[in-house]
Structure formats: C-alpha cells, structure tokens
Amino acid sequence: MNIKILNNLPIRYKLVIACTLLFTPLAILAGLFSNSLMRNTLEVQIRRELHNSTESILNMIKLSAQLSIKNSMRNIAEKNADIVKMYYQEYLNGRMTEEEAKARSTKVLLSQQIASSGYIYCLNSNGVVAVHPVAAVVGQDLSGISFVDDQVQRKNGYQEYAWKNPDDLKNRPKAVWMTHFEPWDWIISVSAYRDEFDHVVNIDDFRESIGSLEFMKSGYSYVLDLTGTLIAHPTYQDKNVYAQGVETPEGLFATMLTQDKGEVIYQWQNPTELKPRKKIVVFNRIHEMGWVVASSAYIDDLYRPLNTIRNIGLLVGIFILGGGILVAMQISTTITDPMALLIKHLSRGATGDYSVRMNYQSRDEIGQVSSFFNQFMERLGLAIREREKLEQQMIEADDKERLTAGQDLHDDLAPHLIGVEIMSQTLVKRLREESSPAADQAETIRDLLADATQKTRALARGFCPIHRVDEGLGFALKELIDTVMTFYPVECQIYGTDCVPIDRAIAVHIYRITQEAVYNAVKHASPNRVAVTLSQDDDALIVEIADDGTGLATSAGSSGMGRQIMAFRARLIKADLEVESRPEVGTTVRLQLLNKYLEKGDALNA
C-alpha cells in the first residue's frame, strides 16, 4: 500500500487498517498453531480411545473366559464330588467295602479327560497324591511345591499356576478347581491348561457389547480368530477374510494374525460407499483364546470435529476481527471527535471568533492540546483586543487630527483667506478707480483667493464630516463626491442616498471607509468613472464603491495602510467588507452592515 495514500486517510481509518494488518496475521498464525495442536491432540485422544476400547474388549473377553473356565471346572469338580459321595454312601450302607468304594470312585475320576489334556487328581491334607492318572505318582508326597501347598491350605476354590509337562517347551498357564471330600480327606482337583478351554467361552455373551462400541461416525470393534474368521463383526460376521476376499492390499489381517499387538493404517471401502477411505486399526491378541481384538475408525471421521472446530474458529476469528475493528473505531472516536471539534474551533478562530474554547476535561494528549488551544485563543484574543484597541486609538487619533485640521482650516485658514480675499477685492476696486494696469492682476489674485477659500472649506468638510453626517449619510457622501470632483478630473456619481437614520459614530466609519475607497481609486487606479451606491433592504445596509480603473492588484499602495484601516473600521462596526479587483477591469469595494448593528450599542459595543 502506498504510504502517501495512508497519509491522506483520516486517523480513524488508519487505526482500522493498522488493527487489521496487525490482528489478521496473528489470527492466521494462532489458527494454524491451534489447528495443528488440536489435530495432534485429537489424534492422540483417538488413538488412546482405540487402544482403550481394544483393551476393554480384551479384558471383557478374558474375564468372560475366566468365568466360563471357572464355572465349567467347578461343575466338573462338584459332579465328581457327588459321585465320590455316592460311593461313600454305598460304603456306609454296607453295600460295598470302603476300599471298593474308593476304587470305583478312582476309576470314575480317572476316566474323564478335561479339555484336550486335562485330568482329575486328588491330594490329601499332607500333600500326598491319592489319585492320579500316572500310577507312579500315586502315594508321592508333593508338599513343598508351591501350588500343592496352596491347594493343601485352601482345599476348595479356583487356582491358577504355571506348569510345564515333560513334553512341553515352556511353562503354560494352568487352572485347577478344588473340592475337599472330608471323609476320605481327598482334595478333588479338576485341572487343565487355560488355552484348552476356548470352547467353553460363548462369543454371544459379549458380541452385543462389542457391536455397541462406536468411534466417531463409523468406527467399530471386531474379533477374529487365528484362522482369519471374524467371530464378531458388524458386517462380515462368521466369514473368513481370506475365503471371502476381504483381505486388504496392505495385508491388514496378515499383520494382525502374525503380531501380538500394534496399529495399522490402511485403505478400506465399505459396501455402501463409492470409494475407499483411509482407516486406522488398533489390535491386541488374546493368547489363551487364540483371538485378535481390534478397534478401527476412519481418519477423515477423526478430523471431522477438527474441521467443525476450524470453521467455528474461523467464525470466531472473523467476529473477533470485526469486534477489533469496531473497538478500534470506537477508540478512534475518542481521538477523532475531539480533533474534529478542535478543527471546528480553529476554523471559527480563523474567521475571527476568538471566544471559542475547548470543553475537553481529559488529561490525555488531546486534553493537553485543548488546554494549550484555550490558552492560545485566550492570549490571541487578548492580543487582538489590544491590537484593536491600539488601532481604535490610532483611528480616533487620526479622526481627532483630521477634526483638528478641519477645524483649523474652517476656523482659522478659511476666515484668513476670506479676509485676504476682501482686502484683495478692495485693492481691485481702488486700482480700477485709479485705472491702474495692475487691476487685472489684482482681480486674478482675488479669484485665486476665492477659489482657495472654496477648496479650503471643502477640505475642512472632508476632514470634519460630523456635521454633514448629522444631516444624513447620503448627504455627506454626496458632498464627498462633489469634493472629489473638485480636486480630480474623474466622473463621480452617487446612487440611492435615502436610508434610515444611522448612529453618527457608525455613519462616520461608513463615510471614512467610502472616502478611503474613493480616494484609493482616484489616486492609484486612474479610473474614468467612480460610482457610489447606497442601498438598504430588510436585512442590511449596503455601500458599494466601484471604479473602472486598473485594479488594486496593479496599482500602487493597493495593500497599504489605507486598506487595513478600512478593514479595521468594518470590523469595528461589525460589518462585512469585500474587495474584488481585476486588472484593467476595475475594483469593487462592498460594505454590508446588518440592520441590527446600525445602533451604536449593538455595533460598537458588541
């Protein structure tokens, strides 16, 4: 942006532009930063939610499996306890011997296989094996083995421990349910490896719970076994991913079935959608069950709340920016309004109204400027009043000098000239009687003295127009015109000499202004004609002096003291003075005085 354009703009718009240029980049940077931060936060939260959901389903299945295993083994243990109790009752009833009852009970216990490799055995309270599928173990004291000691101590309930058969490569988690048959001191123990009990877990028990889990808009959880069969899925229930051809190009299910846990991002297309979308899945394996639990969600669904937040943020940013602009404009009014008022007062002061003052009480810079403005106007008004007072004194002194000169001419020089004229007339008469050749010269001298007397009286009237003004402004101006034509070879005319009575002091000022304008014209502009027009309407008295001379712009003395005195006299009586001058065309001086100022009290004392 061109800085010169900014220089010409009002302060308010400068502040608005400054705020816009300042806040817009900040808002953009803040938006980008917050968007990136929220994006990362959202990804972390979604991943955490997927992990938590997968972990919750895994724990739910494990808990369900554990309960199923416990219930299954408990039922087996209690049923076999009932069988042992039945044979024991047969012994008590005398139908068989106790040894025979134990033998039959042992046969029943050993005839059962728990899961794929589990079995039933019995210990007594000393840790000695009473029943076991391996005959060599029967009668051995197994006390000292931790899980045996726990069995001996507890005698009833569920217990888990790690055990490795001779043909196993490592320990495997094993479970046992114990029931104590006190008459024979048998701790009937139903044992099997936990991973052999997957058949006792009913997927229907938690399939509904898994299906109820949703993430974002279209995310879900599912379970598949190690063969690739989806045993819990909202769409491909009981289908094999390899047989149905739903394996992804990224080998999603191959990764899930070969790794214990992790997350994979892949492309997936739902049957109801036209194109695939990027998806994320978090999975974990249940080793005991041979199942894989997974939770998935679409990436664009993850960012949909972020888009909403971004749009809301954009609207909020626009609102904040708009609010900032409004605040800037509101703040600017605290500067521009006082400045506008100050400019208005300065404009009034420039037109001559020095009474204007700023009523602004703030202590800020505008308040200080207002205070200095008031002080300046006070001092300027005082200086103007002092100047006007001096000018008035000068005018009064000038008028006084003119009056004195006029009185001297009228009362001293004029009678003296008259006396000399009479004496010369007497001399002319005597010389005529004596037929002297000097009579003609004496008569010429008498005529010159008479002409000098007339001019002296005219000058006296010009210097002292008060008495003429008393007879009317029009009458005084007519005599002024006659006097001008007496001394200068210029055609002078006056129009509209009738007007309402005017205060003598005001009339004198009007007379002096007219006199100065006329004499300026005849002395400096070389006119052929000068016209003075006096008119009055309902609003004002107007005096216009027009000539056809060379114009004040090319005439000597056109901007001298006389013109300044004219302007001062106009200000003194509250009149408007206009001077229009064009070279070789002429000059027009126009004086306008409102009727309400024609009285001395309103004009000179206002």
The pLDDT score that the predictor gives to residue 605 is 43
**Which strand (E) or helix (H) includes residue 291?**
strand 291-298
Report percent pLDDT > 90 for the chain.
17
Neighbouring C-beta atoms of residue 260, cutoff 10 Å: 10
The pLDDT score that the predictor gives to residue 603 is 43
Residue 553 has pLDDT above 90, yes or no: no
Note the Cα 335 to chain centre separation in Å: 18
Residue 497 has pLDDT above 80, yes or no: no
Between 31 and 161, the more confident residue is: 161
Rounded to whole angstroms, how far apart are CA atoms 388 and 383?
8
Note the Cα 415 to chain centre separation in Å: 90
The pLDDT score that the predictor gives to residue 601 is 43
* Secondary-structure percent of the chain, ordered helix, strand, coil, rounded to 5: 55, 20, 25
**Which strand (E) or helix (H) includes residue 383?**
helix 365-408
The pLDDT score that the predictor gives to residue 186 is 94
The pLDDT score that the predictor gives to residue 584 is 79
The pLDDT score that the predictor gives to residue 557 is 43
Closest listed residue to residue 282, CA positions, set 211, 222, 213: 222
Q: Which of 144-158, 269-283, 425-439 shows the highest mean pLDDT?
A: 144-158
Q: What is the 3-state secondary structure (H, E, C) of 497-513?
A: CCCCCCCHHHHHHHHHH
The pLDDT score that the predictor gives to residue 212 is 66
Residue 83 DSSP class? H
The pair of three-digit structure tokens given for residue 94, joined into one six-digit string: 């005398």
Q: Please tell me whether residue 414 adopts helix, strand or coil conformation.
A: helix
The reported pTM is: 0.44
Phi, psi dihedral angles at 418 (to 5 degrees): -65, -40
The pLDDT score that the predictor gives to residue 543 is 92
Residue 590 has pLDDT above 90, yes or no: yes
Q: With cut-offs at 50, 70 and 90, classify the pLDDT of residue 52.
A: confident
Q: Are 188 and 109 in contact, with CB atoms under 8 Å apart? A: yes
Rounded to whole angstroms, how far apart are CA atoms 354 and 375?
11
Rounded to whole angstroms, how far apart are CA atoms 500 and 37?
90
Q: With cut-offs at 50, 70 and 90, classify the pLDDT of residue 524.
A: confident
Q: Which of 119-133, 305-319, 329-343, 432-446 shows the highest mean pLDDT?
A: 119-133
Overall average pLDDT of the 54-59 stretch: 78
Neighbouring C-beta atoms of residue 529, cutoff 10 Å: 14
Rounded to whole angstroms, how far apart are CA atoms 474 and 533?
10
Rounded to whole angstroms, how far apart are CA atoms 595 and 597?
5
The pLDDT score that the predictor gives to residue 443 is 77
**Which strand (E) or helix (H) includes residue 492?**
strand 491-495
Overall average pLDDT of the 148-152 stretch: 91
Residue 8 has pLDDT above 90, yes or no: no
The pLDDT score that the predictor gives to residue 54 is 79
Least trusted range by pLDDT, from 98-112, 248-262, 308-322, 366-380: 308-322
